[in-house]
Chains A and B, each alone.
Chain A
Amino acid sequence: MSISETTIESMTKDLSLPSNIMKTLREETLNAGVSKKEMEEIIEQVMEEYKESCIEPCDAAGVIAAQSIGEPGTQMTMRTFHYAGVAEINVTLGLPRLIEIVDARKIPSTPMMTIALSKENQEDYAYNREKTRALAWEIEATRIDHIADVTTDLSQMKLIIDLHEKAMNGRNISIEQVKEKLNEEMNVLVNISPDIDNQIVITPSEPSYRELLQLAKSIHTITLKGIEGIKRVVVRKEGEEYTLYTEGSALRDVLQFEGVDRTRTSTNNINEIYEVLGIEAARNSIIKEATDTLREQGLTVDIRHIMLVSDLMTCDGEVKQIGRHGISGEKASVFARAAFEVTVSHLLDAGMRGDVDELKGVTENIIVGQPIRMGTGDVHLVSKRREEDIEVKDECGI
């Protein structure tokens, strides 16, 4: 006779199991239709198996994580540049990318964004190619080189900009907009040429060659339209949905655009995620980027090791690197720091300050030749006096 759902639930509710094991246990036993006795046996075996697979107390989890990530790391290609799928965007992969992640670089060498588009109805951005294209041009930074030829007229001390109408139409920008933007960015006289179509003439504030040449140089750096730093936007269709991929990253700005799905848009710049979405999102992003990098190379590392690393990197509320300026550099022990990098200066500084090493960690105890506080080395016997003894001694005034 099989037991009901409520009985299963009441039998399992006090077990200390993670939620997904609990869920599987409940579902499977309900589907199979087990008796009460069978259920008891199943629970007993599941608990035993669960305890078996848990990490043991005093186990060196960090060292195992380091080795488990380090060993596959040796098999990675030293220098890989790859194109992310069909979208022709160059991204750093392989070992350089992994180093970038654990070093918590402020800006990755190839920043990139994945912009998901809203898909609330059939006509929304994600299903509409024209809307998506238009949005892509709104986001991509347009510079003067993209839409015009710039010539320096030395005889008349002017900069002449010949705009290409076709390029302007493509990027949906008008000559007035260009003029206004240039006026805003530079402190000079900007005029639309009255005789020739699509021509803008710029006169420097004072007629000197130096001024003119400087102007000719600085005009190329102005972003006329779009977000600064987004060099390219690629539209790709994945299944039914259009998605944008960008070279360059500006998450905060992109989230302001209409048509962008703000819940699924993301970047490979972990520091930017930390600033915009907070520390927990940064942690998730470290895990995602690291596993993706390893998987792309055909290496499988258990996610628990990567989770441990990302927890350690984010436990103080900010993204810290693993290394001299982060976790290893913040160790309390002088010996542990000296064993890692720049030994002499650490010892010298500690000597001058009169630092005390408490010998609590692993590294320092190995250095001085004592048992380390891991595994059996972390188990201590503490004698517990019988209560009556204490009472007697108290009376004696000891």
Chain B
Amino acid sequence: MAFDVFEYAPAPESRAIVQLAPSYGLFIDGEFRESSDGKVFKTVAPASEEVLAEVAQGSAKDVDAAVRAARAAFPKWSALPGAERAKYLFRIARVLQERSRELAVLESLDNGKPIRETRDADLPQVAANFFYFAGWADKLPHAGYGPDPRPLGVAGQVIPWNFPLLMLAWKIAPALATGNTVVLKPAETTPLSALFFADICRQAELPPGVVNIVTGDGPVGAELVAHEGVDKVAFTGSTAVGKSIARTVAGTAKKLTLELGGKGANIVFDDAPIDQAVEGIVSGIYFNGGQVCCAGSRLLVQESVAEEVLDALKRRISTLRVGDPLDKNTDIGAINSAAQLARITELADAGEAEGAERWSPHCELPSSGYWFAPTVFTHVTQAHRIAREEIFGPVLSVLTFRTPDEAVAKANNTPYGLSAGVWTEKGSRILRMAQQLRAGVVWSNTFNKFDPTSPFGGYQESGYGREGGRHGLEAYLDV
């Protein structure tokens, strides 16, 4: 004990709870199978670049087989009484809870996010979504969509890598509750938790074909959304891909929901609870390393308290623990992929080149894997790229404002409109701001809080349609 500071010893969560197979197939019609052309790709742990497993690269033929399986399962599944479908969903929710530690470790390995987040945020939310939508399954006539709202058919769902299992839950739970069947494509860099979920579907004895998982890269997702046997397309991901999906789907009978990028404004007034606002700024931009579509990536702080808030923020950021995602004390894990790291690096460099002031705390980053230190840019203006483009990384752009009107004008001056936060002790101001901000979610005196009962979605280039809550049912009903 020859140290004189409170240095936390490593506290790694054990990997032993996850049994990884060397390779994984596609999950079609209740069975795991190889890709029709035998192609595979590797999925790596972003924290170490260690290869975790080989995963089947789906082909157009595989997508077709999955859609056919879902189509074949649809009549029986949709004809089940809601209470019967609910039983399956409740069962899945319970198995998710029982296996939550295993899935948390798996998600942390494959995604690179800290175990503290997968354990305390992702997995509890995953189960909560299944429980919540299970509850709706037999109450659809009371949801406000008519006396007997019908499902759409086969849902083609494409999800991102930032919350792999949670985005799966957001997509699959409402789809199944309303009587649809599903073909889901997880992100190329994070396929594993979806494949473990496939196993959970079998464990819950979900009828074959109700849920199908096709792994692969972007073109596989394109095949899926373009497939004529798909009645409903749901996508969460980048705005660029969302636009191309919208073009593909245009002119067809497919129903579409898109949950895309964002450049969320976190607005701190001079009467805010400063210590909690600082926590909110930190969780707004450093939760999941800022790889969150609704991240509070633009801090708008009232000029009269800017200095105080920034000092407190920097002090707080200096206590963030960056490193091994499986260490229970890690606050910020790895960036999900080399490509994402390159994008963050490029935009951060652009911020510096355009004249913003860059700051990061002293922190040692691991030598292997994909890492980016938490970063704050001050002296940012609306004209800077880092104030306009989604960085999707642990990079905060700080702007100031003088009046509430200016805050609204700056917050809304973005092609996006997914999230915003308002920090003030004045209740009337919160209500007024919430009315004026063009954002799908406005958090007051908090940030990045999710609940399955609350609808989530965006304005403008952040997409359309809502997920979660009663509103989230509409996307999967023929109404």
Q: Do A and B bind each other?
A: no
- Chain A residues with CB under 8 Å of chain B are none
